[in-house]
Amino acid sequence: CFDCKKEQLANISITDIEILGSYYSNKPLSLGDHLGNRFTIKVEGKCDGKKVERIWQELGGKSINYFGPQRFGSRNNTHKTGYFILKGLFEDAVFEYLCGGEEDESAGLRRELLQTRDYVKALNAFPTHLRYERCMLDYLADKQRDFIGALRRLPRKLGMMLVHASQSHLFNQYVSMRLHDNDLEPKENELVCGTNDYGFPDLGKKSNDEENGWLACNVIGYDSELNEFEKELLAEAGISKEDFKIKKIPEFSSSGSLRTMFMPIKDFAYDEKENTFRFSLPKSGYATVVMDEFLKA
């Protein structure tokens, strides 16, 4: 509790949120303060309990730490928009955001906009729940060639998510390449980290124990120190690390970070009768990635 009494917190009712306990704190909660996430996932259909147990044993209590599909948006093109921004192709970025990706309920309207470039007509036609598209369209209806300005109409965090999605895509590619080559030794620019009290990787704790530590790789940004594999990956994508410092939209820039190649799966349990999975992951882990291990053919 921050700036309130425990009793007040206990009486709060928020849809889909259950408050399990409370304590007093001298600072409010902020995004990312938590250690991890606990998941309870009920699967439709029927899973083979023996298969689940076999896969769990094969995983050995950990999973590849891929970024999950949510990172790339409901139309699976968020990273493509990000790549266009990194390359300075701002018109392409705008139209990828407005019109690209997999089809959704507004696919016809998006196709028409791509063909006509009639921003006023699109603004009148796009449904109100597409508020960020409409925000860009409203701007373009008045300033038709200012694509940088249109992108800057997006909230800063959303704009950064576009660039972060491209970083995530690069990370997934890099990890897949390393796994394909069975190359799990730390490179000269990588570190092995220890764990926190809960057993989740702690990037602030450098470890010399390569066998029991967690290998951390780059989520590439303009401050990243690159190895040869990463340089090759960027060259194939047609970008450089300097491109992550976006001069024309500096608020979308990203310096980079580290992320472990694998993540621990804690508190795992499977209820075959209820067909329900329970487990805990570090705060950056994706449950969809873990579930793919159990549900893939």
Contact 190, 93 (CB under 8 A): no
Tokens of 135: 């925000």
The confidence score (pLDDT) of residue 20 equals 77
The confidence score (pLDDT) of residue 118 equals 98
Domain count, the chain: 2
Inside any domain, residue 56: yes
Tokens of 210: 């390569």
The confidence score (pLDDT) of residue 272 equals 94
Inside any domain, residue 106: yes
Inside any domain, residue 231: no
Inside any domain, residue 55: yes
pLDDT tens readout for residues 161-213: 999 999 999 999 999 999 999 999 999 999 999 999 999 999 999 988 888 89
pLDDT tens readout for residues 227-248: 999 999 999 999 999 999 999 9
Considering 151, 180, 214, which residue would you say is the last residue of a domain? 151
Is the domain of 90 the same as that of 139? yes
pLDDT tens readout for residues 41-79: 999 988 899 999 999 999 999 999 999 999 999 999 999
Is the domain of 33 the same as that of 85? no
Is the domain of 99 the same as that of 142? yes
Considering 151, 168, 185, which residue would you say is the last residue of a domain? 151
**Residue-number span of the structural domain to which 30 is assigned:** 6-61+265-295
Inside any domain, residue 241: no
Where does residue 226 fall: left (phi above 0), alpha (psi -120 to 50 degrees), or beta otherwise? beta
d(CA 164, CA 84): 13
Where does the pLDDT of residue 32 fall: very low under 50, low under 70, confident under 90, or very high at 90 and above?
A: low
Domain with 85 in it: what CATH number? 1.10.1510.30
Considering 102, 119, 151, which residue would you say is the last residue of a domain? 151
Inside any domain, residue 119: yes
Sheet with strand 201-206: strands edge to edge? 201-206, 191-195, 214-219, 257-260
Tokens of 260: 């472990």
The per-residue pLDDT of the chain, averaged, comes to 94
CB hemisphere CA count around 296 (13 angstroms): 7
Sequence-separated (6 or more) residues with CB below 8 Å from residue 11: none
Question: What is the value of pTM for the model shown?
Answer: 0.91
Is the domain of 96 the same as that of 141? yes
Is the domain of 48 the same as that of 89? no
The confidence score (pLDDT) of residue 235 equals 98
Helix or strand run (H / E) with residue 212: none
Q: Which of 166, 26, 176, 191 is nearest to 85 (CA)?
A: 166
Is the domain of 55 the same as that of 98? no
Mapped onto helix, strand or coil, the DSSP state of residue 24 is coil
Across the range 266-271, mean pLDDT stands at: 97
Inside any domain, residue 248: no
The confidence score (pLDDT) of residue 297 equals 57
Inside any domain, residue 105: yes
